[in-house]
Structures are given as C-alpha cells and as structure tokens.
A and B are shown apart, each in its own frame.
Chain A
Amino acid sequence: MHESTKDHAALAALFNKDEERVNWHDETLWWIRQKRDKNVHQLPEWEALREAASQIKFNVLSNLHDYLLQFEKNATANGVQVHWAADAKEHNEIVHRLLQEHKVDRMVKSKSMLTEECGLNEYLAEQGVEVIDSDLGERIVQLAKEPPSHIVLPCIHKKKEEIGDLFHQYLGTPANVADPQFLTEAARQHLRDVFLTRRAALTGVNFAVAETGEFVVCTNEGNADMGAHLADVHIASMGIEKLIPERKHLGIFLRLLTRSATGQPITTYSSHFKKPRKETPIHIILVDNGRSVQLGRKEFRNSLKCIRCGACMNTCPVYRRSGGHSYHTAVAGPIGSILAPNLDMKKYKDLPFASTLCGSCSNVCPVKIDIHDQLYKWRQELVKEGYTPAAKTISMKLMAQTLSSPTLYNAAGKSGRFVLKHVPFLVNNKLNPWYKEREMPEAPKESFREWYKRRDA
C-alpha cells in the first residue's frame, strides 16, 4: 500500500506542479464521465434501476448475517470451500496457507481491490510467493512498483509513452514505442505465458448470489477466466458486502455496473462460478476487515452498498485534478474518503476534507450512496474524536462565540473587521494561501448594512 506522511492537500499540490498533466488527467476522466452520460441517457429507466439497486443493497445490509449463512450453505453444497477472514491479516494468511497446501509459489491474480486493501501482494512477496497481476492496468502499475490510482482504471495516471518505457524495460519491447495496440499485444504474449505456467489463480468477486451460492466476476479482458480455468486451484476473495439475495437481481447490477464505470453497456466477460471442476478446487474467502464496524455506524453503513464502479472518481472534480495517489489509500476518490476513515481515523483524517461537497458523486452513484453527505458527517465525527489541530478548534470556537452574539459581532463598529480577520478565505494577509493564484475582493466604501441604515434613516 501507498505509505506516505503527506496529506491529501500536500500530495495534490505536488500533482499540480505539472499543470499540463493535470489537464490531461482531468480530460481523460471527464471523457469517461461523458461516455457514461451518453450511455445512461439511452435508458429511460436509469433512475429506476438505481433506486432498485439501492433498495436491494439496503435489504442485503439489513439481513447480511442471514444472507452470508445462506451463501455459505449453498456454496458449500456446490462443492466450494468457504473460509472466513476477520481482517486483512487473516485473509492473507488463508491465501498463503492454501498456496502452501498446493505447493505453489507463483500465482496469477485478476483485479481485486480487496487484495489491495489487504496488502496481499506485499505479504506474499515476504513469504517468497510471486504474484503477477493479470489485469493489464494492474500489471502496468505492478511493473512500475506503484499502487493502482483508480479502482477500475488502475493506471489511468500513466501516459502511453510511460507505459511504452516500462514495457521496454521489463518486457523487451523496442524503445520509444507507444502504440497502444502494439503494447497490448506485447502484454498479451507476456501474460499468456503467465496463464499457462501458474498453477494457482486468485480472482476478486463482483457479486455473490446467496440463493445459489455462485459468484460473478466481471472483467473486460477475460483475464479472470483465463487464470481460473488454467490453474489447479482457484481462490476468490470477497468482501462480505458483495452479496445479492437472488440471481434475478443480478441483471439490475450488471446493467448498472459498466455503464457507470466506463460507459459500456455491459462488461465483456461476466463469468459465473458455481461448481468446481473435478480436481480443481474453488476456495472463497469471505472478508470482513472493518465492514461489520462500518455496518454498525448508522450514519455510514450506507457506504457498504458500493459496487466499486469508480463513477464517483471519474466525476469528482477534485479527484480528476489531484490524482488517485493523493488519497494515499487503496480505494481513492469520494468513496475511498468515506471508507478509509472507518479503517483508520488518524491516518485518513484528511480525506473527508478533500472535497468541495459539490455532490456530483452522489448523483452518479449507481447504488445511490449519499457520498457527499457522508463526507460532511465524517468531518463532524473526526472533530468530535479530536483529530483536528488545536489551533483550528480554538479559532472555530472564537468564531462561533462571535457569530452567536450581535454585540460582539458589531463590537468593533464595523462588523467587517471580524469577517476580515476570521473568515479563512478572507483573511486579509498576504500569507493567506488564497493569494497564491487569486486576488482578494476589494471592500467597497459602504457595506450593505451601512447602506440599509442610511436608507432607513
């Protein structure tokens, strides 16, 4: 995982040193947001789909314990081996144990944000197990020794020339070749070899159906299937919130997922896994890692409806201009900013403030998570828990006191004095960050209050 002592504002400021790159990043993601708009506007029932998905997920969250047991029962009956992991550590250890049982020290892995969240690759590397990510974007950031910067588009922060350089260095493509088709073909050849030689495959899970005990993995590259079908053992890691009650609900989610994510009508591959083939076991690991704590937080449980489509990132004007790495957590952007403080308030205390609360995220979210309201609520929570600097608290108290009392507010004769001294963006002092790229508003001769009093006199 991305270890950093800098907060979002500092990392975003670094990202903004290269304005041209910021423009490129913003426009690339905005283009995806537009693709999404174009696509969803073709479905008159779009808002009804979102509402249905949201209601289904609410039902799941309210009855999670029952659905989990139902899923375990049905999956077990199908011959799948079910494991429970309370946290990241337990999850990683289970994966390692399974690999040891199969005497495997090289594994292929398709996209799974959960394993990013758990730091699985690093853990397995320490145990001497090599993991190769088979999603093209993930493979690219893996070669670059960077974490993904986006949950759906892991290497969206990389330009094709940079990818060409990486491939030249690691996969032996000719220097200075950045043609996407050529590079994709090179990756395909490289990964083909990986698929053929790895005897264990790990995949994520997009949806698990309680009614049938099956799970569905969505990819555009077919890499989950390639890995799982060619290996001797298939391990699937899923967060416990990934459940849906019945198979008939799947259609709603599949219609929402990729339209929201990339503006495609559906993922290229939506693969169902139900019964293992003979001699090739399937293991599924149900991971909690803070989810049941979040479920217990009334104000924030709603965030567990997330289906990881990434639409809230693509639309977020702050994400587009600060880059995924500025969030210093596995799941970046607006949704990451309401999930991460649940895991570690101290470390992620900055994230709920990395937003203007514009609300665009909540509007694109296919499961209608009130993301921006939760950001607001996390701010209140973080202050209550004492995670804000003492100086800020003192100035806020002073502000509150003055604004509660017209006498204090007007004490200095001109109330503007207070505004000028204490409203952060108006502090009339050249050290105010406002000045860096903006001029101060000019105070006119007469305030409205003065005009009004004069008029009434």
Chain B
Amino acid sequence: MKTKVFNYLLAILTVAAFAAAIVLRQDSTFDLALLADYKGMLVQGFFNAILYSVIVLIGSLIVGFIMYIMVKSNWGYFRSLADVLTEIIYGTPLLVLIVIMAYVIGPAFGTHNRTAMGLLAMTVYMAPYMTNVYKAAISSISEAQYMAMKLFGFTSYQKYRYLIIPQVVRQLMPPMMNNFSLIIKGSALLSVINRFEIFYVIKVAQSKTFAFLEGYIVLWILYLVITLPLSQLTKYIERRYGV
C-alpha cells in the first residue's frame, strides 16, 4: 500500500516537472488574468457542461435501454431497426450529428431549439454504447444462476430485487462511468450550436482578448477538474462493488 502511494506521488511529480519544464521553455508569457472578465461566463459554462452531460447520460441510459429491448426482441423488425440505427450512428462523427440534428432534423419537426436538438444528438450518439453496456451487464448472469433462483423458490419480485438488479447495477457502473467521461468531453462540441457552452465561452474570450493559448489551458484544467475525480470515483466503485 505504502509503495503504491509512493509510486503515485512519484508519477504525479514526474508529470508536474514535465509541465513546469514546458512552461519555462515558452517564449510567450501566459497571462491568465486576461480571462478574468469572463470568469462569470466561464463558471456558468462549467456548470452547463456538467448539466448537459448529466442530461445526456440519463437520456442515453434510457434510449440505450430501449435499443437493448429492441435488440433482444422476438420481432426481427425491431432487431433489424436497432442494427441499422447502430450502424449509422457508429459511422457518424458526433459533430456532424449535432449540426444535422440542430439545423436539419430539428427544423423538419418544427423546432428551432438547437440546444435541445444538440443534446438529443449526443443522446442518440451515446445510446448504442449504452446498449452494449446493458448487454454485457445482463449477460453476466448465467443460465445456471437463473436455475438456482428458480430452485430455491424466489418469487419474480425477489429475483429482481435481490439478485438480478444488484448484479446488473454493479456490472453497469464502471463502463457507464467511462461513457459519462466520454459524454463530458464530447459536450465541447455543443459549442457549435450553444452560446453558453464552456468551449464557446472560451472561443469568445479568446477572440476578444487574444489570450488564445490561455483559453485552451483554462479549458483543459476545467475538464480535468471534472473528469479526474470522476475516474477516481469509477475506480472506487469498481473496487467496492465489482463482481
């Protein structure tokens, strides 16, 4: 345990030293104060990034589950439909999907709420990945386990409550959290359609202050502030509840 902590400290120091060396080798000086005027907007953008990501996470969990039911359906039509949608989504860059959704598909249904359509695009984009998460989690319960449940005489409710759902949730957690991380990073692309997205705020600030590199550095740090704790949490959950 002690050596592990030590190794981690050493690794972090290495990275920090590397970062310091890079900073010292810069010709231009960084002035993060240039961005001070935009602090309020940045904070708002930061929280928006989290909010949007949570919405997409929940949405894609729901849509992904619907697609899972389609994949497992007895009706070939639903299986084929899920397959076709998945292939299209896999073949589409997220940025393209967001733009098409906001400017083509949305208006076709009479909506010009680009933010909503952008979030929908991300939701749809992530759904097949969530479907895979469900597939893996649910198939981890073996035939033999179902047989045991039946033999010991659990009722349907008890099976789900004490045996199936707890196992599925445990299996679901780590890959779901990884997807959440992908969503957070992907949310930067919403800046093409949304003015309150953090990446958009940075772009505006950059163009006004010419603090081009500073903008990216701040953005980078803000994303790390979200994703690093998240991945630690994921690891913790995996250790604590992993099967």
Q: Do A and B come from one complex?
A: no
Residues of B bordering A, CB below 8 Å? none
